[in-house]
Structure 1
């Protein structure tokens, strides 16, 4: 016997709310990637997500809050991936460890390419999240280097983390366009790792 509509099991409100929130974030990331953060209004996000602006504002107070949540989610992915690398860093050579750092960054970038490019392109845009994201990421790289190199002397680990982060991040960002330019992404990553690994070997002196 068919179940009457009023007796059908309703989805919990928490599930529907989670789906709506996820929908807003997914649509926002797509729009930010194609239009840029500054050119994407909350009205446009709501329209593309198929909801009223009032519904959107029940979940996010403004565009900056959406950007912050997307940035925090991106950082969580990075943190989880690099936390796994930390467990094996001590058993790797500096060169191989750097290669893993860059390859992991490339994988995360490819998976979140449009959003990352939007965040980088809108560095000037208040609330883009990059000014807060960079030092958090640098701290992870610093911990990674400490785990990799062990006790050293005569080394400014903060400067080292800054160099590794920026060289690796630049390679990761450029990696998306490398194949269009006739470059082999893996070869570029390997050469970058070779150079940084050689530098790490020359500037570190065990205690």
Structure 2
């Protein structure tokens, strides 16, 4: 483990309910502080004050704000993974257009909560090797699911299904992240409609 990775690892992995609640309170407070003040001004003192705990208590869980931001990124990834799993377990509509609508809407809704924090996570959150591996696993799992869907759906006419699945997943991820977190964010309804139309034309044309 490198020095940089040690800097962004949480200190205490809470085993008791009270400790876990404190940890979550710190993360929630940090999300608000980073969203309101930005990363540079989002000090650990401000986070501790917002969480209603002492700075010493905060440092029992996180050594610095880099580690807090890294943990917020992990939480964001976990929420996205959980939302994707729920969609995959549900019964999908019949048309490929409506299937894309389900996935695009889910991706947008997952990222609407705090665009400022999302932008900060995209631009400044530290990424350890373990975190990058987690991102790669999540993406590969989704690509495999979409590839299997394309192979069996009668409306899909692309010749190279494997490449198409990677393009659809990557395009959706990048566009939603970029336009939801933009300084002038796009209207979610318009973004959904245009993304669905674009993806549908691509795989059925």
Q: Deviations over 1:41-78 (max 9, x none)?
A: 32332233232221111112222322222222211211
1:147–1:192 Cα change, 3 Å: same
1:59–1:95 Cα change, 3 Å: same
Alignment of 1:134-173 (within 5 A): 135-150=136-151, 154-155=159-160, 157=162, 160-171=165-176, 173=178
Larger Rg: 1
Aligned to 1:6: none
Q: Deviations over 1:60-104 (max 9, x none)?
A: 222232222222221121111111222357753332222211101
Other structure's SS at 1:16 match:
helix
Aligned to 1:14: 16
Q: Deviations over 1:147-200 (max 9, x none)?
A: 3212699526256424443345424653578xx88x764244123212211212
1:127–1:48 Cα change, 3 Å: farther
1:18–1:168 Cα change, 3 Å: closer
Aligned to 2:51: 49
1:185–1:113 Cα change, 3 Å: closer
TM-score, scaled relative to structure 1: 0.70
Other structure's SS at 1:37 match:
helix
Q: How many matched pairs?
A: 186
Aligned to 2:197: 194
Deviates more, 1:187-196 or 1:97-106: 187-196
Distance in structure 2 (CA, Å) of the matches to 1:109 and 1:147: 26
1:158–1:116 Cα change, 3 Å: farther
Distance in structure 2 (CA, Å) of the matches to 1:135 and 1:38: 29
How far 1:145 moved relative to its partner? 0.8
Distance in structure 2 (CA, Å) of the matches to 1:113 and 1:169: 14
1:118–1:166 Cα change, 3 Å: same
Q: Does 1:78 align with 2:83?
A: no
Distance in structure 1 (CA, Å) of the matches to 2:20 and 2:135: 28
Aligned to 1:24: 26
Question: Is the 1:68–1:127 contact (alpha carbons within 8 Å) kept by the matching residues of 2?
Answer: yes
